[in-house]
Amino acid sequence: MKKRTNILRKILLTFILLVQISVSLFAQSKPAYIIYNSNGKKVSYAKMHRAAAASDMVLFGEQHNNAIAHWLQLELTKDLLQERALTLGAEMFEADNQDALNQYLSGNITAKKLDSVARLWPNFTTDYKPLVDIAKDSHLVFAATNIPRRHASLVAKGGFERLDTISTQEKKWIAPLPIAYDSTLSQYENMIQMMGGHGGANMPKAQAIKDATMAYFILQNYKPDNLFIHFNGAYHSDYYQGILWYLKNEQPDLMYITISTVTQTDISSLDEENIGKADFIICVDEDVTTTY
């Protein structure tokens, strides 16, 4: 009897020790990010992955220097490639650089040459080249969707009418004119507030011509049997506006999934201001190292 009691005591002590270790490990856990749904409920990466796989288009909104967002873009793309035929596209490539990008994708030029003939972002090598190389290695289309910045600058300075002055060739690299424009969308109204009134009504118009152009080239490259993944700054698709607003104007019946990236001091719950930004919100600890 005494021997049995000692065994039971050892089992109980072992169980208590395991509980203490588990509690200690949980208390020390410091996740770099947590994924939330639009209502602010914690969800798994697997759930986000499943939703993306079941959609027609994914708009993956990033903070351009956020290492976690770039890593998850890469991981999600690799995982989806195992299940679906993909088409990729990104804000970070302007439409008039499509030929150069295609030359790289086909292996006709090197990454160094691409850097000399296309307007690549400074963080291309660390943050976007891995995505482009997936397209290159898997023979996928990678669409350069953004308006050439010189044309967006024209709109910022003088409104949409300034685009009437560019050549027919140049107009091939922007959404067909005139574009629809709703100045009451909150993302456009907020731009004027963020700028303190500087730039007037033309700043959100410059944002809108980018959104419209990206939506246009997304649809130009979309194939019904493919899943299109588009990488863009989160502001271009947050609150289901921007690019998505233009996409839904043209193709309302497609299944769209939006992802946003935010940073917070405390990521244990989603701040009120970030609720509703997207179908899935990647909440990253603000202390995570940025890529630039």
Residue ranges covered by each domain of the chain = 33-285
User: Helix crossing, 202-221 with 243-250: angle to 10°?
Assistant: 50
- pLDDT, position 194: 83
In the predicted model, residues of the chain with pLDDT beneath 70 are 1-28, 196-199
pLDDT confidence of residue 21: 41
Q: Where are the beta strands (DSSP E) in 106-249?
A: 142-146, 227-233
**CB-count exposure of residue 34 (10 Å: 0-12, 13-18, 19+):** middle
Q: What is the pLDDT of residue 5?
A: 52
State the pLDDT at residue 7: 52
pLDDT the model gives residue 16: 45
- Residue pair 273/239 in contact (Cβ under 8 Å)? The answer is no
Helices and strands (H, E) in the chain, number of each type? 11, 8
pLDDT at residue 29 in the model: 81
CATH number of 33-285, picked from 3.20.20.450, 2.60.40.10, 3.40.50.11550, 3.40.50.12780? 3.40.50.11550
Contact, 48 vs 35, CB < 8 A? yes
pLDDT score for 195: 73
Whether the model clears a pTM of 0.85, i.e. scores above it, the answer is yes
Q: Is 275 helix (H, G, I), strand (E, B) or coil?
A: coil
**Residue 108, token pair as written in the block:** 């006709």
